Amino acid sequence: MTEQIRFLSWPRRIIRWFLTLIVTLFFLVILYFGYQLWLNNRSVDAPSHQLVSASLEKSIRWLMANRDSILDVENPMLWWFLKESADITRDVRLNELFSNYKKRYLDPNPRNVWWHLFDTNSKAPITMWQLEQLPDYNLYFIFGATCDPVLGKEINIRHQNDPALCAYHHLRSSCVTHQLMGARFAQRRNCYISEISNELVLALQKKIVSQLVWDPRVMDVYTQRVMLLAESGASESIKPVWLQRILDAQLSDGSWGDFYPVIPVGRGYHVGFVWRGLVVKQSKGDFHATAQGILLMSLVTSGSHVRLAN
């Protein structure tokens, strides 16, 4: 009988041990998340102009060192970021790089609908066969760049004028920033009555500030959020620590990547976050993240119109 009682007590011990483990892990996760939130929202001095300028210079040098592979990337929004940076900084290297992109992808095809991003007077036709394969947010970019009345009637465009779009239709973390990009094009080119555009942009800016407060993972979309606040005139909402964390995330070669390392596991590998979840990988720069970092640093170094939060 005694042996039988001992045998029956083993499952209870295992269950008790398992529950203790679960509770311990839960509290460790809560503590870690709380630490990350503190790290992400603590009060720090604004990074110096010299520090931001040095970061910008390093990132431009990375572009020059990787120009051949970068020019293989046609993504027009990335090149719009670089063109904006070139216009702001008047850096001859950025201007030359954009000129090479233009010669390769735009000049040979005057009917390329993406011409409208770079030339407000473009006559490139807007035909649905060019647009039917594009995601909704790209359509919104093109509408904002053209104010095309036919495109503006499309339901996929009208949905994106709703500040609540990303809560109802999309779960991806870049949804709000993509929506703000399109809204900013529409605002800059007066596609709508100014009150309508201003209200939409203001509502999206507030959503992005909230995302930055509660999502401490310094990845591609983190930089995108801070960059868009600066570009859209909401730089006073940017906490200095957010900019400092982006500077700290810049890799030694001057680039930025889309990976937030958490736990080192040896040989340069970390357990960390990408947008899909947890992975084990090495930090590596890419054009997508770096183009956004360059525009952000260009905006910050450009003058007094970018003022960080106190």
Residues 6+ apart with CB under 8 A from 173: 211, 215, 221, 275
pTM value? 0.89
Share of the chain above pLDDT 90, in %: 69
| Residue 218 DSSP class | -
pLDDT > 60? residue 179 = yes
- DSSP characters over 242-293: HHHHHHHHS-TTS---S-EEEEEEETTEEEEEETTEEEEEE----HHHHHHH
Full 3-state SS string of 29-63: HHHHHHHHHHHHHCCCCCCCHHHHHHHHHHHHHHH
Residue 249 lies in a domain: yes
Backbone phi and psi for residue 151, each to the nearest 5 degrees, phi listed first? -65, -35
Residue 246 lies in a domain: yes
Residue 294 lies in a domain: yes
Mean pLDDT of 260-279: 83
Q: Per-residue b/e over 234-273, b at no fewer than 16 CB within 10 Å? A: bbebbbbbbbbbbbebbbeebbbbbbbbeeeeeeeebebb
Residue 94 lies in a domain: no
Residue 165 lies in a domain: no
d(CA 194, CA 190): 7
Residue 262 lies in a domain: yes
Residue 264 lies in a domain: yes
pLDDT > 70? residue 67 = yes
User: What confidence score (pLDDT) does residue 3 get?
Assistant: 54
Residues 6+ apart with CB under 8 A from 49: 301
Overall number of domains in the chain = 1
CA quadruple 256, 143, 230, 178: dihedral, nearest 10:
-50
Higher-confidence residue: 303 or 203? 203
Nearest to 138, CA basis, from 185, 192, 201 = 185
d(CA 241, CA 303): 19
Residue 15: enclosing H or E segment and its boundaries? Answer: helix 2-41
List the domain range (segments joined by +) for residue 279: 216-310
pLDDT > 90? residue 211 = yes
User: What confidence score (pLDDT) does residue 160 get?
Assistant: 93
pLDDT digits (tens, 9 = 90+) for 235-255: 999 999 999 999 999 999 999
Ramachandran sector of residue 301 (left: φ over 0; alpha: ψ -120 to 50; beta: rest): alpha
d(CA 199, CA 205): 10
SS3 108: coil
Mean pLDDT of 128-152: 90
Mean pLDDT of 298-306: 77
Residue 225 lies in a domain: yes
d(CA 155, CA 116): 21
